Amino acid sequence: MTDIEIPQGEQRVIEGQVRVYYDGYWIKKYDVPADTLLAKKRLIEALTHRLFNHVEYGLNVPGTRLTEARRAFLDETDQAKKRVKGGMLAGALFNRATDIFTKLVELQACGVEIQSDNALMRQCGEHLQESLALGKMVLHRSGEEGIDELWGEPFKAFAFPIEEFYKSRYVKIALTMRAIDAIGDALRSTIAAFTPFGSLTPVVDDFVRAAKLKTETLRTDLEVFEVWSSFVVASETLCNFEPSLPSASGIDPQLCAQFSELLRAGSVLVSSMARARVPMPKSARAFIERCEDLGQSAKNKKDPTPRPGPQPVPVLAP
């Protein structure tokens, strides 16, 4: 059976581990908790913590300050500051929704039946929807593109069965792995143009492999200690790689320095993807273009195409 024939969500035991298939990748599968209000509360709390861990600083505004945050956003006329205040309002909405959900779970624990059309449940959903819309203004903590998918995850966890939410996460993980593979391919292609970096290929292979393992592994997994430490070491090895620069290499040392900087940028970008488990397509595309441009510059320096010299003036016969 080829990958094309494998249905989405297919499960298999591979090397003693249950894995699930999505978009060309066999991803480590985790048990889905029971679909209860308490389970959703815990999931939304975890997603809230995850969100604020990856977006730019200063947005974790308490839900109790929602009115202040909204007023500050609506009154702002400077567009650059309005973007930031929009993110702060999104954070306050996010936290208010979590506050409401927490109290509803406490009421349920006291024996109070909470219906899906409960007014507070509706308000919780409205807050999450509004925070999702405002979250499009927010950047990743690295300063790269925004990762507004993270703002939508708590709403998905709130609005859909938990099992459906987990399925959507597997799809996102598969897309992230594909983006990491594409970045690895771009680095390998660039290495081919840089003779002094020839021994770097297995280092890139290790880094890509470790990044994909990090992407599929939850922090609560017992294997996270080995997975995270391996990923950090692979990243450090990539960033600290020192090429040999023999005089006969024909490679401009300045271009080699640029490639070293490119390796560090790639490490940061892939780390951002692997930790947040989102593909960041704009940033990935821009990085791949940088790799292509630098590789082409190295080839041009190595094998410059001679320009045609002045052509002789034809002499007319008398």
- pLDDT the model gives residue 179: 95
pLDDT confidence band for 153 (50 / 70 / 90): confident
Instruction: Tell me the pLDDT of the chain averaged across its residues.
Output: 85
The burial class, CB within 10 Å (0-12 / 13-18 / 19+), for 309 is exposed
Q: Tens digits of per-residue pLDDT, 191-207? A: 888 777 788 999 999 99
Q: What is the mean pLDDT of residues 262-280?
A: 91
Beta bridge partners, 14, equal 17
- pLDDT the model gives residue 236: 94
- pLDDT the model gives residue 302: 61
List the 25-28 sheet strands across, edge first. Answer: 11-14, 17-22, 25-28
pLDDT confidence band for 249 (50 / 70 / 90): low
| Phi and psi, residue 21, nearest 5° | -100, 125
Q: Tens digits of per-residue pLDDT, 84-112? A: 999 999 999 989 988 888 888 788 777 87
Does 318 score more than 50 pLDDT?
Answer: no
Q: Tens digits of per-residue pLDDT, 281-306? A: 888 999 999 999 998 887 776 654 44
**Spatial distance between the Cα atoms of 247 and 249, rounded to a whole number of angstroms:** 6
Does 83 score more than 70 pLDDT?
Answer: yes
Question: Do the Cβ atoms of 255 and 243 come closer than 8 Å?
Answer: no
pLDDT confidence band for 145 (50 / 70 / 90): low
pLDDT confidence band for 248 (50 / 70 / 90): very low
Q: Please indicate whether residue 20 or residue 133 has the higher confidence score (pLDDT).
A: 20
Q: What is the mean pLDDT of residues 123-146?
A: 82
pLDDT confidence band for 250 (50 / 70 / 90): low
| Phi and psi, residue 18, nearest 5° | -75, 125
**Spatial distance between the Cα atoms of 91 and 208, rounded to a whole number of angstroms:** 33
Angle of helix 224-239 relative to helix 253-276, nearest 10 degrees, comes to 160
Q: Please indicate whether residue 251 or residue 129 has the higher confidence score (pLDDT).
A: 129
- pLDDT the model gives residue 138: 85
Q: Tens digits of per-residue pLDDT, 214-226? A: 999 998 899 999 9
- pLDDT the model gives residue 306: 46
Among 23-37, 159-173, 225-239, the range of highest mean pLDDT? 225-239
- pLDDT the model gives residue 3: 52
Does 313 score more than 60 pLDDT?
Answer: no
- pLDDT the model gives residue 288: 95
Q: Tens digits of per-residue pLDDT, 39-51? A: 888 888 888 888 8
Reading the block at residue 204, the tokens are: 């890139």
- pLDDT the model gives residue 162: 87
**Spatial distance between the Cα atoms of 125 and 7, rounded to a whole number of angstroms:** 32
Does 310 score more than 70 pLDDT?
Answer: no
